[in-house]
Chain A
Amino acid sequence: MAKLFAAIDVGSYELNLGIYEFGQDKMRIIDNVKYRLDLGTDSYSKGKLPADKIEELCRILNEFYRIMRGYRVSDYKAYGTSAIRETRNTRILLDQIEQRTGIHVDVLSNSEQRFLDYKSVASKGREFTQTIEKSTAIVDIGGGSIQLSLFAKDKLDVTQNMKLGVLRLQERLTELDVTPARYDELLEEMIGSQLAVFEKLYLRGRSIDNLIIVDDYISPITWSRTKDSDTPGFVTAERFMAFFTRIREMDPVEFCRRYGIAPENMSQVYIAATLIRSVVSVMSAKTIWAPGVTLSDGIAYEYGERKKLIVIDHDFEGDIIACSRSISRRYMGDDKREQTLENICMAIFDSMKKVTGLSKRDRLLLRIATILHDCGKYISLYNVAQSSYDIIMATEIIGLSETEREIVAGVVKYNHVYMDYDIERTAISGRGEEVYMRIAKLAAILRIANGLDKSQKQKFNAIKASLKDDTLVITVRTNKDITLEKGMFEKRADFFEEIFCVRPVIKQIAKI
């Protein structure tokens, strides 16, 4: 029997409810209910939502609840995005919503949200896989910012957030109070300056074949114009440019009528079109694909992935790892060292599974921590711990929540320095004991792994770890001298033992 799931997106200017059906390893959208409600304006400017907006929000969420009940959904997930995230009283607001509607809303960080958007594109299946076989970029246009991501060899490689959101640009242009004649010029200038930096840092002559667009402005138009074609959602760059010329030259009223756009959205459509045109030009993209997906699609897709309700070909963890490697490269990280460290860490993590209480997700965080473990060296060889921590905290890692990013930063930091017993005094204070313990456990593993490769000569490439009662035996097959490593190991082993009540020991087996 098919299973029904509801995804709710409390967005900045729209509430969205998607009802999804999971059956036969597939996901299908059954219903999509959207309601325009501007939460962003108040949240961004005042940091709070006024009572009437909360009232309206709860009214619609109650309606959503009624619809969900009508479909007899077995589970749901509700997320708030930037408008909720940027309220100062987020906790109070979310509690109010839950009390009044029975719906529990979680808040997504920008990187989580963009990763879900990305998953929504991936939910398109074959079209997605085929598209990313060639060099591809995604531009995800939101109200406050845009996210530009590049693929390399069908993996996400680079992803960067830029404050070029449609509503933000619109607001800036309004503030500047420009005449229509200067409007285009200023808009292109604002977009161009930021894109130039992106181009310099990441593109460096790289050409992009396909551009995937995720937005609420141009995608619906593209979709409606191509839905009856053999390749719905796909247009050539030339066709898009021709469309852009039309939007620029046509009478706005006639344009809205012909393309079915509400006149009040015309300016946003224009800004989004200008953004896409600029990205297409910078990347010399040949094909544009508007899959016409929503955040709700991504929420449902992730749910299906987590509950193993759908068959997924794409390795999303691989994307997060690839992006982390890309960050590491930016700070001159050593690929080989990272790989050795990762191997050791994973061997220890897996052998300790029964006693650590850590999850698969923690395993991923540890992998990221190994990749970024000494990125701070780029800034200071003396103060690696703090520099690494600062870099990670200032860098968005796609797919991770803020807490997860803090965990990675914490693990990297306490790889280099001792952890304070006082939770309050640790840099990750305020995140609670559970987070403290996760950092401590992951840091303990990274610390002994780091100790084992102290010479950074990758002597421990082939290791095995096995847990026997209260001892973790790390078997190293090497003929090399590991005196240094053994020496460094003991101190680190104390911390490890303190955390897990398991004593790690090194057993060297020389190759004959």
Chain B
Amino acid sequence: MNKITVNAPENFRNRELSWVEFDRRVLSEAKDERNPLFERLKFLSITASNLDEFFMIRVASLKDMENAGVKKRDIAGMTPKEQLKALGRTTHELVAEQYDTYGVLTGELKKAGYNIVRDTEGLNKKQCEFVDRFFADYVYPVLTPMAVDSSRPFPLIRNKSLNIGALVRSRTGDKDEIEFVTVQVPSVLPRLVEIPGEKSGRTMLLLESIIERNIDRLFLNYEILSVAMFRIMRNADLEIDEEEAADLLKEIEKQIKKRQWGEAIRLEVEKGIDDRLLGILKSELMIKKEEIYEIDGPLDLTFLMKLYGVEGAEEYKAKGHKPNPVPELPEGGDIFASIRKGDILMHHPYQSFEPVVRFVKSASVDPDVLAIKQTLYRVSGNSPIIAALAEAAENGKQVTVLVELKARFDEENNIVWARKLEQAGCHVIYGLVGLKTHSKITLVVRMEEDGIRRYVHLGTGNYNDSTAKIYTDVGLFTCKETYGEDATALFNMLSGYSEPATWNRLSVAPLWLKDKFLYLIGREKEHAQAGRPAHIIAKMNSLCDPDIITALYEASMAGVKIELIVRGICSLKVGIPGISENISVRSIVGDYLEHSRIFYFENNKKPEYYCGSADWMPRNLERRVEILFPVEDEALRKKLKHILDTELKDTVKAHILTDDGRYVKHVVRGKDKGINSQLQFWKEADSEGRSLISKKIDNEVMVTRRFTPEEHK
């Protein structure tokens, strides 16, 4: 079969539709009765916030293309218009599924003693009094009711805000004239208000229901004819999504300038909304029928995350885990001395992220440290890393920090702490023009007895101590000269200096990384063709680069066994006769967000292992600064293989991609609990951590016996 056939659009899945499939997999966790109730709420909430982001970025981007008249087809052969049409269908289905699930979950909640109330009509007298007092004391002062008439134009409805729209008739003026009024549900107040309930259990009322019950107090001289919640999503993102091909960007840019600010691209309304009310919204917001979502339940399910946070529901949540200490990096030990003993691989969150923070902190006060260089993409507020970097600069060390301002949704946050670093004397670089810096690397240069030694941390996750507790990532500490040289060269490159002629170990996107992957995949193909062992295992977040997928198909056709663990988007299709029969794809959606990128290439029994910051997506391989690094030490390679093998054996949280494009879970029968890879990793790390603690206790006991003689009475 020739390349043209392999490349054919029918062999690829549209990435947006594949993304919806991913959100559906998250939703399936909300449906899964084996999960604790509050965890299910959390998953449902995540599907809602995911979908919001998807609309704001991806759907908005497709709309821009459609408006610009772009007819260019994606890898699956779909024009923007066709994609939007297909997406409309599938997202409507997804939303319906979300609310079906919501219905099931509120029933379960009620059984568990948590009563979520939307309808205030069933409240008892005491509850009604409480609600009305709450409205008067807390809600009323922050409301801004707005009416629309000939002198008052339709107000600006804020993106993602929850609103109550109503049709009213003046009690004093023209009785035939029906007016539209609206009020935003204030985001400064909690969405769920706990009200005095029955004897047992807790009752919670949605804020919008409290306002709705009292809406006549907002429009005193009006008769309220009809009320309904609504929420809109706007194409307010002024930056064009980087994922679009560069040749399209110019055209779209022109369109954006022409575009009215914040065109509405999605309208959610309460099911049963008055047709007249809907009609007004539709025409004022200039929204098409297919962009309207009639919701059978409360709009904006992200409030469920707040419910997850209520105290006292521990029995309905998954058992919490505390990240374990890293055995090679004992607390209080000299972190540099530990790294000198050999490379160290950490698996977060099962192992603590603390050593990474300690690494920077130790460097900041170590008199032998000359320089600290780090890339920062998304960091937590009050980041201890930022504080340590600032301290290092104050201590006279050369501190270079590359701050990526383009990290989506984090721009403002990033600017604040970048200024802080500058004030402390750090050399702050604000990324490279046209390239988002996604690589995660820290370099510490130290002057030691025998000369300069460089310590490098390379990771698959951001330097964010908060997300490190919920994202699964791997990180490597090394002081090998080859890595140190590359890290130095990388920071020079990021500082605007020329790139080095060659790299020792690192492969860096956008210049060299894609070729490296294509080479590695191609090499497996050659091995297979020559009858030598060939096998690829690759774990990542998303896979949609057409060149990589084509290379994988060709490798599969040559007989390479390819096992992919792709959490999110996957444009590759499995089981295409003659093309991808040797490829399997699984997606693990669990309590922790699978985030690490690990790559295994069998290479004729001389396996190579790589980790990195890049997914197999065009944006990662072509428009970002990303790093791929090899893991060379045998013990660490075994660890990586164990991670991959365990995830390949997962029968609880893994969804297997089928030939027809669906994802299905293993059916676990009888008493068999199956294998949950994330739980398995916890067990292993906990047991390693426990043995460390017991060793520590043993040592302390030993010390006690030796130095504290017993007294004879």
Contact = CB atoms under 8 A, between A and B. Distances in A.
Given A30-B488, A31-B488, A66-B398, A71 B370 contact: yes
Contact of A33 (B397, B497, B511, B515): B497
B370 A224 contact: no
Interface in A181-224: 219-220, 223-224
Interface residues of B, number: 25
B415 interface: no
Interface string B264-302: 000000000000000000000000000000000000000
A67 interface: yes
Nearest to A28: B451
Given A21-B452, A28-B451, A70-B370, A14 B502 contact: no
A360 interface: no
A348 interface: no
A18 to B, nearest CB: 12
A72 B368 CA distance: 11
List the 3 closest pairs (A to B, CB-CB), nearest first: A70-B398, A220-B501, A2-B451
B191 to A, nearest CB: 51
B501 A31 contact: no
A304 interface: no
A220 B497 CA distance: 16
Contacts of B511: 260
B492 interface: yes
Interface string A264-296: 000000000000000000000000000010000
B496 interface: yes
Contacts, number: 62
A35 B499 CA distance: 9
Contacts of A227: 502, 504
A227 B431 CA distance: 30
Contacts of B397: 70
B430 to A, nearest CB: 16
A36 B449 contact: no
B172 interface: no
Interface in A23-46: 23-24, 28, 30-36
A24 B450 contact: yes
A223 B502 contact: yes
A4 interface: yes
Contacts of A223: 501-502
A1 interface: yes
B385 to A, nearest CB: 20
A174 to B, nearest CB: 24
Contacts of B162: none
A14 B451 CA distance: 29
Interface in B491-545: 492, 495-498, 500-502, 504, 511-512, 515
A23 B488 contact: no
A151 to B, nearest CB: 26
A36 B447 contact: no
Given A2-B452, A224-B502, A34 B497 contact: yes
Contact of A34 (B370, B447, B488, B498): B498
A31 B398 contact: no
A258 B447 CA distance: 38
Contacts of A4: 452
Given A36-B498, A71-B371, A21 B398 contact: no
Interface string B380-411: 00000000000000000110000000000000
Contacts of B512: 260
A375 to B, nearest CB: 42
Interface string A361-379: 0000000000000000000
Contact of B451 (A21, A67, A69): A21
Contacts of A1: 447, 449
Contacts of A224: 501-502
A262 to B, nearest CB: 9
Contacts of B500: 32
Contacts of B447: 1-2, 72
Contact of B371 (A33, A36, A70, A292): A70
A9 B659 CA distance: 60
Given A4-B452, A260-B511, 4 more contacts: A28-B452, A36-B498, A219-B501, A292-B502
A67 B502 contact: no
A4 B446 CA distance: 13
A35 B496 contact: yes
A36 B492 CA distance: 13
Task: Determine which residue in A1, A21, A24, A70 has the highest number of CB atoms from chain B within 10 A of its CB, and name it.
Answer: A70
Nearest to A292: B501
A32 B492 CA distance: 8
Contacts of B371: 70-71
Contacts of A66: 398, 427
B427 to A, nearest CB: 8
Interface in B620-636: none
Contact of B492 (A23, A33, A258): A33
A479 B499 CA distance: 70
Nearest to A219: B501
Interface in A63-112: 66-67, 69-72
B507 to A, nearest CB: 11
A24 B452 CA distance: 13
Select the residue from B447, B501, B515 with max chain A CB neighbours within 10 A: B501
Contacts of B450: 2, 23-24
Contact of A35 (B445, B452, B497): B497
B451 A72 contact: no
Contacts of A220: 501-502
Contacts of B498: 14, 34-36
A268 to B, nearest CB: 14
A289 to B, nearest CB: 15
A502 to B, nearest CB: 48
